[in-house]
Structure 1
């Protein structure tokens, strides 16, 4: 059982909550509670000469939070606490303004985090609207996460995703806000006339459907419209200066950020961050990551049931007859449980980091192909619309005249079954849609009375509304100590000419229309392939029928954005109740509700549109009352006779070669003392003409920074820095430098440097 702070150090409401959970659960059940929380072809007409209709700005900022002693966000695993750094997380900002009417602008932020969040976005909007009054607003700022699962956690303001991070981690949230605002400031500072163009390609080797049996529940005539059971198209929006030189790109492609497995504890940016690194470094090879003028945004799209683990899911069950065999197709189990069913990436026989490189490279090469091929110009005005919708009880009429409603949020049993990318625990499985309990024990755990339940017991009306989902966590009714789940979500669309991104807060298919229209899962949600088609086609048809756009309208979906609202599936997929259906928190008519609301907002994207649409209240502010159980750094100390940065294990004095790994260990200090945003914890330096030149930083995927606590009582720790030498590395003399910051028991934090002996590469 995890150690908790003394009761007297905790807020009363948290004490009561923890006491209730502790009273109900043994050590194993505490782990369970934490676990439950976690877990159209574009014609290539050729690029035509177009006078600059747009002002374009691109910027990047470091958003890496604490890389040690902090739970990671994505897999919702209590045991996945970070121990170091593989690649820094970044926000990339893309500003598009109408040159004739500069106030008509949008800023699209693509952040290397699991999903957008209402609290973080609120702070970003507040700072930008204060610095640039009337320029950047709640309507035109889109905050989209790449949905990667190896970043720093604790930044979401609802309680459910905070449980595994032991509450809110302000340091993480502050880093995301600071780096994102900096990215927008940089983009604003380099606004210049430019042109936009659009293209797409097909990428066949970068994703598969992790819930194919749920997809098969969709009508045969619907499935017959598609060649694959997963969206394989990548859309690329190219940003050029007025002379036709590329300044950057925004790509949209659906694949989960789960190349790095649940047992990884190194902070990274997964496959989309890798794709961005590969593209930016290919354009500016002599610039360090985060310091390129060319900005490559690899945005998430209809991510819902996608997986980068393209070899499929297999049983990792040593000693069992089914070891190495494919998992059960319906329930993703091995021997009846999900824990040993794991998806395998293309680099499975080497490492998940190799799989991450391969999937990232596939996206990089796809975008590169589009950027160097024939493109279609984007022309037209810039518009945006954003409202809030209360999803807990949104009533509307279906095309057949039936009145239906969404439901207050609830998680199904299969939510706890996890996915093949990150399996669940105990005997929870996917694909169970019976109202009967899977195991009577969990009914006891849930509680038979409101006084004993983890979340309030669902009413008959809630059960009927969510049917056929068997409810495990009735989060929409859980308000103590603050909201467990969102009930209000963003509905946001951006239009740039004939291109439109639809922003969604869930994991599903994202829609963007080009003329450009983006439909962002303005709430962070995940969409499945069928959903992407339904939403994008519905919005595109509405855009054309109302005269907002012509037949060249192009729509994409981007997300999860702005506020996290889990998943969206079709009603048929919902009925199967695999992970995605169980995580469609607002019930079986969630998809139709989004289509209804998005469609109603289309007129506000017209060239001559005025006024603002009606909106429900935004999500309540909760960060001011957020609970945190993460202790601060108390102090750091060096061993007797040693100084901070002293070399404990030095490099070899024999030559290294490409493919070798060189490493050194230093007397360390806690990196939470200074996140070194826009900096680096390490450098690999080369001796050039008698001067040391930095050639690698902690954002290069070839370097690893690991921190190890030696003694909590004594405050000692070590840092190990390694570099795997790439092919083509010049021969010469090199060294490893460690940059740290120590905190005394009394006094202020101070920086220090450790330097290895020099070594040679032959």
Structure 2
């Protein structure tokens, strides 16, 4: 951890408005070969205190006031031959070059996982905080408030570091297998008018049923078992936006992915560490019933995906094998010096398109989405000589560079390739559309000898969108948000194919930049502890998430009440209590659970805890010299002859039935 502390301390303690630091990249150390596949897995809690802006819905998002279903990171570690990798699956908007670099440096002394083997991916939930990314653009505009939060970022680095170290320390002889199934009816293409601009493929069924083929129905799953201990981990890769829960929601959540995990745990048990990565999802949304965005619909979609994943997991047991080829490669493309590959050149400057302002189809910006040129499907008529083609550049090509300096944009594009047995996992920082992903996969398959290519969006950083050139011509939200113009897809495919050709079994291809310098506008949203100067540095972040410190003991506040079901929300029991300030509580530790007992008895048993989506915890503001909180138990199944009660940090509240 010392490296992380040294890297972050200068801007955590200087009191300036910018966070400026450099992280060097050490070349990978050659590893001795191991005779068999080794694997380890770990899960860590990423739930922060209230007060952090949520990312994904931009200015329409809400600041988090609590959580429903905890945010977590799952780590799957694999070691085979001379390669060592760790796949980090986060309930966050995306990966982050800052987090990836600092975690790689932090684990270098205690693990054999190199930077090229550290894959930091995400589910792209829109219910988690932002403010941890490597560019001012997305720390500024992905959330409802701007700025890079160094304390929140340090918390993420510490937790993920703990997860990687734990996963490596727990590794043992293992077996694994990839599988694939199709999931239909739970997703839809939200930008169909742009998608159908792509040429029909040769598959007659696909060409004839374009509406149904506008999503990628394939769910990929990697099952890993310990040779001597049964299931160890499950990694799901599937393409669907994390937008089942609407932007007006104000609690942290993993969106529909939380219900994927819960369904899989209910079917498979608690033994395997279950995590997920986003697939090619940029133009794919959950198939919600009209007007019903919320936890009820998110649960319906998520549990359907989880059921399919569970069946696939169970079917893979006969195909598990120990003889597994493993390789890793990371290329960081610095667009300041390398804008072309294989004759494909990107514009000298990125540009934000007008269609971006109107928002995506299911979450459009009121009024603006109806006005050209913001309205989807109103491309610029004369753009043949413009490197940004049909895009209407916000503020014009001349004014936008003045308002948005080049340094605010993503300028380093990480392309990551992991070879795992019969498949190649390709990670890129873009939100990638269905057909753009198919083209990347096709290019990679032609350059390598694997059975399957799996493309994952928003890995290792967030850099906007990647559409096909044909989709780009329509200038829907996805095209307006493709920063580097209509050739972005071809550029990415060429780099991914080139890198994949080098990632042979046992290879660790390190084409990362020798060092990365980040210069970010900073703002601390992480709440300060009462009676102190707030969390700062590594010790501050750790203190804010460890023991409750100055927090007073909780106090009961009234009786439980029942709130009936609505079209968007399930029924719930709610009860309040008084406690310390948000900055004093350990939000990544258990806070509340529900107990039951036969009526009239005192033999209380735990029924559900706050790791479940059934419990929601909210900060309701300062009150009576302290802070008031609410706990909600959603979808309760109360039985006659039983009493129930909430228990908050060891304090039993008044029973109800």
Which TM-score band applies after superposition, normalised by the shorter structure?
0.7 to 0.9
Task: Specify the alignment match of 1:717 in structure 2.
Answer: 627
Task: Check whether the contact 1:95–1:106 (CA below 8 A) recurs between aligned residues.
Answer: yes
Structure ID, larger Rg = 1
CA gap of 1:573–1:584, structure 2 versus 1, over 3 A, is same
> Would you say 1:385 and 2:311 are equivalent positions?
no
Task: Specify the alignment match of 1:55 in structure 2.
Answer: 38
Task: Specify the alignment match of 2:155 in structure 1.
Answer: 175
Q: Distance in 2 between matches of 1:572 and 1:69?
A: 41
Pick the aligned partner of 1:566 from 456, 464, 475.
Answer: 464
Task: Check whether the contact 1:645–1:755 (CA below 8 A) recurs between aligned residues.
Answer: no
Task: Check whether the contact 1:668–1:707 (CA below 8 A) recurs between aligned residues.
Answer: no
SS in 2 for 1:65: coil
Task: Specify the alignment match of 2:351 in structure 1.
Answer: 410
Task: Specify the alignment match of 1:159 in structure 2.
Answer: 136
CA gap of 1:502–1:649, structure 2 versus 1, over 3 A, is same
Q: Give the 5 Å matches for 1:209-228.
A: 209-221=189-201, 226=206, 228=213
CA gap of 1:262–1:635, structure 2 versus 1, over 3 A, is farther
Q: Distance in 2 between matches of 1:123 and 1:731?
A: 54
1:126 CA displacement: 1.6
CA gap of 1:79–1:362, structure 2 versus 1, over 3 A, is closer
1:662 CA displacement: 2.6
Pick the aligned partner of 2:501 from 588, 603, 623.
Answer: 603
Q: Distance in 2 between matches of 1:631 and 1:370?
A: 43
Task: Check whether the contact 2:125–2:242 (CA below 8 A) recurs between aligned residues.
Answer: yes
Pick the aligned partner of 1:493 from 417, 422, 426.
Answer: 417
Task: Specify the alignment match of 2:538 in structure 1.
Answer: none
Task: Specify the alignment match of 1:73 in structure 2.
Answer: 55
SS in 1 for 2:116: coil
Q: Distance in 2 between matches of 1:12 and 1:626?
A: 5
Number of matched residues? 585
Task: Check whether the contact 1:64–1:172 (CA below 8 A) recurs between aligned residues.
Answer: no
Pick the aligned partner of 2:314 from 372, 393, 411.
Answer: 372
Task: Specify the alignment match of 2:492 in structure 1.
Answer: 594
Task: Check whether the contact 2:331–2:499 (CA below 8 A) recurs between aligned residues.
Answer: no
Q: Give the 5 Å matches for 1:272-283.
A: 272-283=257-268
Task: Specify the alignment match of 1:357 in structure 2.
Answer: 299
Deviation per CA, 1:33-89, whole angstroms, max 9, x where unpaired?
xxxxxxxxxxxxxxxxxx9941111110001122x2221111112551112211110
Pick the aligned partner of 2:186 from 179, 187, 206.
Answer: 206
> Would you say 1:295 and 2:237 are equivalent positions?
no
1:358 CA displacement: 0.8
Task: Specify the alignment match of 1:21 in structure 2.
Answer: none
1:381 CA displacement: 1.9
1:692 CA displacement: 4.3
Q: Give the 5 Å matches for 1:16-415.
A: 53-66=36-49, 68-77=50-59, 80-98=62-80, 101=81, 103-132=82-111, 135-163=112-140, 164-221=144-201, 226=206, 228-243=213-228, 245-284=230-269, 292-311=270-289, 344=290, 348=292, 352-373=294-315, 376-377=319-320, 379-391=323-335, 394-396=338-340, 404-415=345-356
Task: Check whether the contact 2:579–2:627 (CA below 8 A) recurs between aligned residues.
Answer: yes
Structure 2 unaligned regions, length at least 5: 1-13, 20-33, 369-373, 533-551, 563-569
Pick the aligned partner of 1:431 from 359, 371, 377.
Answer: 377
Task: Check whether the contact 2:268–2:310 (CA below 8 A) recurs between aligned residues.
Answer: no
Deviation per CA, 1:414-467, whole angstroms, max 9, x where unpaired?
11111123222452322232279xxxxxxxxxxxxxxxxxxxxxxx99x82212
Task: Specify the alignment match of 2:558 in structure 1.
Answer: 649
Q: Please give the root-mean-square deviation of Cα atoms over the aligned residues, in Å.
A: 3.3
Q: Distance in 2 between matches of 1:371 and 1:403?
A: 40
Task: Check whether the contact 1:535–1:595 (CA below 8 A) recurs between aligned residues.
Answer: yes
Task: Check whether the contact 2:51–2:525 (CA below 8 A) recurs between aligned residues.
Answer: no
Task: Check whether the contact 2:84–2:114 (CA below 8 A) recurs between aligned residues.
Answer: no
Q: Distance in 2 between matches of 1:224 and 1:578?
A: 27
Deviation per CA, 1:577-606, whole angstroms, max 9, x where unpaired?
111111111111111111111122233212
Q: Distance in 2 between matches of 1:570 and 1:652?
A: 52
> Would you say 1:667 and 2:578 are equivalent positions?
yes
Q: Distance in 1 between matches of 2:258 and 2:507?
A: 37
SS in 1 for 2:517: coil
Task: Check whether the contact 1:206–1:362 (CA below 8 A) recurs between aligned residues.
Answer: yes
1:377 CA displacement: 4.7
Q: Distance in 2 between matches of 1:294 and 1:258?
A: 26
Q: Distance in 2 between matches of 1:673 and 1:57?
A: 33
TM-score under structure 1 length normalisation = 0.71
TM-score under structure 2 length normalisation = 0.81
Structure 1 unaligned regions, length at least 5: 1-8, 15-50, 285-291, 312-343, 437-459, 509-527, 637-642, 654-658, 740-752
CA gap of 1:88–1:168, structure 2 versus 1, over 3 A, is same
Pick the aligned partner of 1:580 from 465, 478, 481.
Answer: 478
Q: Distance in 1 between matches of 2:526 and 2:504?
A: 48
Q: Distance in 1 between matches of 2:612 and 2:506?
A: 47
Q: Distance in 2 between matches of 1:13 and 1:705?
A: 33
SS in 2 for 1:220: coil
Which stretch has the larger CA shift, 681-690 or 534-543? 681-690
CA gap of 1:505–1:590, structure 2 versus 1, over 3 A, is same
Task: Specify the alignment match of 2:535 in structure 1.
Answer: none
SS in 2 for 1:155: coil
Task: Specify the alignment match of 1:626 in structure 2.
Answer: 522
Deviation per CA, 1:256-310, whole angstroms, max 9, x where unpaired?
00001001001111111221122124333xxxxxxx4421122211011010144
Q: Distance in 2 between matches of 1:419 and 1:225?
A: 28
